[in-house]
Structure 1
Amino acid sequence: MAVAVIMEFAGATLEQYDQIIGKMGLTPRGPAPAGALGHWVAATDDGILVTDLWQTRELYDAFAKDQIGPFTAEVGVPAPPTVKYLDVHNYFTPGAGA
């Protein structure tokens, strides 16, 4: 079952986020990592909010362990994110109805 993952990084900046995705080999509006179905990020009053959609929680957890955790620490994000998981009832993908 697909899972939404909502991550709040208190004290993080969009500049740090850009460094992190660069270290992951990702590019803005480029292809997602294997298992990821969607992603967006926005600045908040106290950091950044990242919302992902993954095929499974296990795929997200492996990606977080191997990439998100190490790279956020490497660029100086002050603390791990608070994470909320939600089972997804439905989602849409670009071009699916065309």
Structure 2
Amino acid sequence: MSFVVRFNPQSLTAEQYDETIRRLSDRGFPPEGLEMHVCFGEDGSLLVSEIWSTREQFDAFGERLMPVLAAMGISPGEPTMFEVHNLVVP
């Protein structure tokens, strides 16, 4: 069953986010198992939500993600996770 992961990093700017995505794209982003990724909010306090197919795929990607976040000075905080009850994709 898919699940939602919500990140509330401290003081995430659009510049940090965009550079992080660029660096991850060089390493195979989007990764296998990522069903949806969205970044939203105000510059300086952006939030990220994702939908993943499995916890194993999420954990595997985390091993690639965390060094990039550290290099960018981004502290992702502890993610909140929810099991998906229903997902409608038009």
Q: In which range does the TM-score fall when normalised by the shorter chain?
A: 0.7 to 0.9
User: Map of 1:18-97 to 2, 5 A cutoff?
Assistant: 18-25=18-25, 32-44=30-42, 47-67=45-65, 69-77=66-74, 79-94=75-90
Identity between Structure 1 and Structure 2 (%): 33
TM-score, structure 2 as length reference:
0.84
Q: For structure 1, which runs of at least 5 residues remain unmatched after alignment?
A: none
Ranges in structure 2 where 5+ consecutive residues have no aligned partner? none
Distance in 2 between residues matched to 1:46 and 1:84, nearest whole Å: 20
**Secondary structure of the residue that 1:5 maps to in structure 2?**
strand
| Greater per-residue strand proportion | 1
Structure number with bigger Rg: 1
**What is the CA RMSD across the aligned residues, in angstroms?**
2.0
Say how many residue pairs are matched: 88
Structure in which a larger fraction of residues adopt helix: 2
| 1:46 CA drift (Å) | 5.7
- Residues 17-51 of structure 1 show CA distances to partners (whole Å, capped at 9, x for unaligned) of 1001100117xxxx832101001001348622100
Q: Assess if the C-alpha contact under 8 Å between 1:5 and 1:85 holds in 2.
A: yes
2:5 counterpart residue number? 5
Structure 1 runs of 4+ with >6 Å offset: none
TM-score scaled by length of structure 1:
0.78
